């Protein structure tokens, strides 16, 4: 049963600490998205990769957030230093974007619940 | 970042009622419109993807229409059931910019 795997499921940390969230996309998918769930904005797009290349990270605070895909099976989202306002659920999603065709649908992971004290 | 708006923000209906809600988006440079269903404590799941003006999609009691010229899509639920209670999200384009969703509660 193919699924997007996110780790950790829950993370509690103190302000100023580095946080790393990991995502394993579904095998064969070539797009990865990072979203943050907020009360005001619903699912806020942070970063978007296609074939491991970052295509859009305009929604991500650049001073403290970074997103990478070291290989096709791993995407990471890092926050350094973390702040209480970063507390949220962070979702990763993957999809298959075939050149010239519409990205049919995204499959979401279960999310990482981050609490920064 | 594209501006995707959904209305209403929340909705309460009685079991058996039919309902609908709206997703509005910029009509220029349209590429695709997606609908997702998000149940509490779960992850969003895809319902439909629509690309052509006039598209209509149906899945059981749920259907959606698309008007790319005027920039809106409607999601309809016929004969709402308690298990339809969820947040319904629309997303625009290949970058999947999501709206803030419509939270539907179906009262038994």
**For residue A95, is pLDDT > 70?**
yes
**For residue A40, is pLDDT > 90?**
no
Q: Which of A22-26, A60-64, A72-76, B67-71 has the lowest mean pLDDT?
A: A60-64
Cα angle, residue B38 at apex, residues B34 and B44 outer, rounded to 5°:
65
Give the pLDDT of residue A1.
65
A→B interface, C-beta within 8 Å: 33, 35, 40-43, 45, 48, 55-56, 58-59, 91, 93, 97, 102-111
* Percent above pLDDT 90 for chain A: 76
Residue B103 near residue B41, CB atoms below 8 Å:
no
Give the pLDDT of residue A69.
95
Give the pLDDT of residue A101.
60
CA distance A111 to chain B (A): 8
Give the pLDDT of residue B68.
94
CA–CA dist A66, B14 (Å, integer): 45
Please answer yes or no on whether A48 and B97 come within 8 Å at the CB atom.
no
| Share of chain A residues as helix, strand and coil, in percent rounded to the nearest 5 | 5, 55, 45
pLDDT tens for each residue of B65-108 = 999 999 999 999 999 999 999 999 999 987 888 999 999 999 99
| Share of chain B residues as helix, strand and coil, in percent rounded to the nearest 5 | 5, 55, 45
**Cβ of B43 under 8 Å from any chain A Cβ?**
yes
Chain A residues whose CB is inside 8 A of the B33 CB are: none
What's the average model confidence in pLDDT over A65-73?
A: 94
Average pLDDT, chain A: 91
Interface test with B, best of A105, A110, A112 (most B CBs within 10 A): A105
Please answer yes or no on whether A45 and B99 come within 8 Å at the CB atom.
no
Write the CA distances from B31 to A91, A103, B8, B56, integer angstroms.
Answer: 24, 10, 24, 16
Give the pLDDT of residue B3.
83
pLDDT tens for each residue of B24-55 = 998 887 889 999 999 988 999 999 999 889 99
- Nearest-CB residue to A42 (from B43, B45, B101): B101
Please answer yes or no on whether B98 and A102 come within 8 Å at the CB atom.
no
CA–CA dist A63, A81 (Å, integer): 9
Chain B residues whose CB is inside 8 A of the A107 CB are: 46
């Amino acid at each position: 049963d193919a699924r997007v795997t996110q780790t950790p499921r829950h993370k509690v940390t103190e302000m100023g600490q580095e946080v790393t969230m990991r995502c394993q996309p579904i095998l064969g998918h070539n797009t990865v998205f990072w979203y943050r769930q907020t009360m005001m904005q619903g699912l806020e797009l942070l970063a978007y990769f296609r074939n491991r290349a970052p295509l859009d990270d305009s929604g991500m605070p650049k001073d403290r957030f970074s997103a990478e895909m070291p290989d096709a099976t791993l995407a990471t989202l890092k926050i350094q230093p973390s702040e209480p306002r970063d507390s949220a659920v962070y979702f990763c999603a993957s999809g298959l974007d075939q050149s010239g065709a519409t990205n049919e649908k995204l499959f979401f992971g279960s999310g990482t619940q981050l609490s920064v004290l | 970042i594209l501006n995707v708006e959904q209305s209403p923000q929340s909705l309460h209906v009685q079991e058996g009622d039919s309902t609908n809600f709206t997703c509005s988006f910029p009509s220029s440079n349209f590429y695709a419109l997606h609908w997702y269903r998000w149940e509490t404590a779960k992850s969003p799941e895809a319902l439909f993807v629509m690309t052509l003006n006039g598209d209509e999609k149906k899945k059981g009691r749920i259907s959606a229409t698309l008007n790319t010229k005027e920039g809106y899509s409607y999601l309809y639920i016929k004969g709402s059931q308690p298990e339809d209670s969820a947040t319904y999200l629309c997303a625009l384009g290949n970058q999947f910019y999501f709206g803030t969703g419509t939270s539907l509660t179906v009262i038994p």
